[in-house]
């Protein structure tokens, strides 16, 4: 058995660990996108007696790159997008913040140096992404008993089924996964897993791995996951509220003209008000009025509330555009200022749907423990839901958000929301 467990390597080879460490990445990126461009533009004299403009630009690039790499390191812990576009968006965001800080504090900087450094940073990110793709998808050995078999349907990993604990294939894996509570887990399998742990091989329960790969938390019975473990942090709840208000006030000068133009176009296209006001269920199960730009005919719900469908005839021409780009959600910034909503959180539903889902979906109302959001984990991971089955999956995404309620997850959702706005993912 010892020979078998030694075939599983918990860690990568030393050069893989070195290359992918945050410190090493920061050093390499500093050399590539700060030191090298500085030498090309200003020569060796810069490193002896730099000018204020040069020094501000040089240090700003180093800080931006370090921040981008730290953000990526934190965000990549969560399931979801692993595309190069996601990595590029993080770098562009950090450089954008750098430009804003230079403007606010009236610091001198070299726009040419910053642009060259940005290009080098993006080139380094591309090279690192393509070289590291082989390590992005985990290689997982699976014990084929109990609920662990359901993991084979998950495409976020490469699976290798262990048919016999006495005959382990000679291959390197990132971890071993088993349903540790399965009645079918025989003494032979238990001994095998125990020996793996003693040998320093990582062994995880199937439910834990499923959550980390899919970004969903399944709760069907109380014993599977006590709801107390999903309580959101009260400290971050206060911080999040402060961030919401500051962020909305900051973007209002940009958003208000867009809202004004949108309202005028809606009024010109069809009769009825530009705004659509509707009762939704928010935090604690309390109802509130949600504001949206009207994207349907003014009498679209005269026969009662119902889900929008693909190619819904009730949606106007302008409505299709503002739904795809999410412009129809902009009036909800006022809901955020009022405290009814947050920028990030589970999407609020109408009371008629909430009552329906509470009868058919276990613990559905637990999603009301946090403020609903304009965008959320379920929206960027799943898109639009149109029936009870889709809503069951959406609730599992919402539970994951509540369980991992943090600044880093909110930042990831912001990045993915921007991608959603550009691609129109999930719009109806």
According to DSSP, the residues that pair with 203 across neighbouring strands are 176
Quote the pLDDT of residue 24: 83
| CATH architecture of residue range(s) 138-214 | 3-Layer(aba) Sandwich (3.40)
- For 349-362, the DSSP string reads --HHHHHHHHHHST
The model's pLDDT over 311-337, given as tens digits with 9 standing for 90+, comes to 555 678 888 888 888 899 999 999 999
Angle separating helix axes 407-423 and 234-269, nearest 10 degrees: 20
Do 275 and 331 touch, CB atoms closer than 8 A? yes
Summarised one tens digit per residue, pLDDT across range 148-202 is 988 988 888 889 898 888 766 667 778 899 998 888 888 989 998 998 888 878 8
CA 215/CA 174 separation, integer angstroms: 19
Q: Which residue has the higher pLDDT, 286 or 302?
A: 286
Q: Residue 319 and residue 328: Cα distance in Å, rounded?
A: 8
- For residue 339, pLDDT over 90 is answered with yes
Domain ranges of the chain: 14-136, 138-214, 234-423
Contacts of 263-272 with C-beta under 8 Å, sequence gap 24+, read 263/293, 265/318, 266/293, 266/294, 266/316, 266/318, 269/316, 269/317, 269/318, 270/297, 270/298, 270/316, 270/318, 271/298, 272/297, 272/298, 272/299
Diameter of the chain measured on Cα atoms: 76
User: What average pLDDT does the structure give for the chain?
Assistant: 83
- DSSP annotation of 19 reads H
Instruction: Please report which confidence band the pLDDT of residue 2 belongs to, taking 50, 70 and 90 as the band edges.
Output: very low
Q: In this structure, are residues 355 and 283 in contact, taking their beta carbons and an 8 Å threshold?
A: no
Measured over the CA atoms of residue 425, residue 152, residue 221 and residue 217, the dihedral's sign is: negative
DSSP labels, 54-66: HHHHHHHHHHHHH
344-391, pLDDT tens digit by residue?
Answer: 999 999 999 999 888 888 788 888 999 999 999 998 888 776 677 788
* Burial class of residue 73 (count of CB atoms within 10 Å of its CB; 0-12, 13-18, 19+): middle
56: pLDDT strictly greater than 50: yes
Q: pLDDT value at position 397?
A: 92
Please give the Cα distance from 428 to 229 (Å, whole number).
34
Binned at pLDDT 50, 70 and 90, residue 422 comes out as low
CB 87 within 8 A of CB 72: yes
The two three-digit tokens of residue 6, written as one number: 């030694």
Q: Are 397 and 225 in contact (CB under 8 A)?
A: no
Structure token pair of residue 124: 């380094």
For the record, the structure tokens of 335 come out as 């809901």
Judged against a pLDDT cut of 60, whether residue 108 lies above it is answered with yes
Tokens 């089955």, residue located:
389
Please state the separation of Cα 383 from the chain's center in Å.
Answer: 13
Residue found under tokens 């390597």? 9
What is the rounded CA–CA span in Å between residue 36 and residue 40?
6
């Amino acid at each position: 058995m010892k020979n078998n467990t030694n075939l599983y390597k918990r860690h990568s080879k030393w050069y893989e660990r070195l290359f992918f460490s945050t410190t090493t990445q920061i050093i390499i990126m500093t050399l590539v996108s700060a030191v090298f461009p500085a030498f090309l533009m200003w020569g060796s004299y810069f490193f002896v007696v730099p000018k204020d403009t040069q020094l501000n630009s040089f240090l700003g690039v180093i800080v931006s790159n370090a921040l981008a790499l730290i953000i990526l390191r934190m965000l990549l812990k969560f399931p979801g997008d692993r595309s190069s576009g996601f990595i590029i968006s993080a770098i562009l965001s950090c450089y954008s913040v750098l430009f804003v800080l230079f403007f606010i504090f009236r610091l001198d900087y070299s726009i040419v140096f910053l642009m060259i450094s940005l290009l080098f940073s993006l080139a380094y990110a591309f090279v690192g992404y393509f070289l590291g793709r082989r390590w992005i998808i985990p290689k997982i050995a699976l014990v084929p008993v109990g609920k662990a078999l359901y993991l084979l349907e998950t495409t976020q990993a490469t699976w290798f089924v262990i048919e016999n604990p006495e005959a382990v294939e000679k291959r390197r894996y990132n971890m071993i996964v088993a349903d540790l509570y399965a009645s079918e887990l025989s003494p032979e399998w238990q001994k095998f897993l125990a020996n793996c742990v003693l040998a320093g091989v990582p062994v995880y329960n199937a439910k834990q791995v499923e959550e980390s790969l899919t970004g969903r938390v399944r709760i069907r019975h109380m014993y599977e996951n006590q709801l107390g473990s999903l309580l959101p942090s009260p400290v971050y709840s206060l911080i999040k509220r402060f961030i919401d208000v500051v962020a909305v006030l900051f973007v209002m000068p940009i958003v208000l003209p867009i809202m004004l133009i949108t309202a005028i176009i809606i009024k010109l296209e069809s009769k009825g008000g530009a705004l659509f006001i509707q009762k939704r269920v928010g935090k604690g199960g309390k109802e509130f009025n949600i504001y949206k730009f009207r994207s349907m005919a003014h009498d679209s719900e005269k026969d009662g509330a119902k889900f929008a469908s693909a190619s819904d005839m009730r949606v106007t021409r302008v409505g299709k555009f503002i739904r795809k780009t999410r412009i129809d959600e902009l009036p909800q910034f006022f809901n955020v200022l009022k405290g009814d909503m947050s920028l990030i959180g589970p999407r609020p539903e109408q009371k008629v749907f909430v009552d329906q889902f509470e009868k058919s979906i276990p613990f559905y109302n637990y999603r009301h423990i946090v403020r609903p959001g304009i965008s959320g984990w379920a929206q960027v991971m799943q898109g639009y839901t149109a029936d009870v089955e889709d809503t069951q999956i959406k609730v599992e995404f919402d539970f994951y958000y509540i369980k991992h309620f943090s600044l880093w997850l909110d930042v990831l959702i912001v990045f993915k929301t921007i991608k959603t706005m550009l691609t129109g993912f999930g719009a109806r």
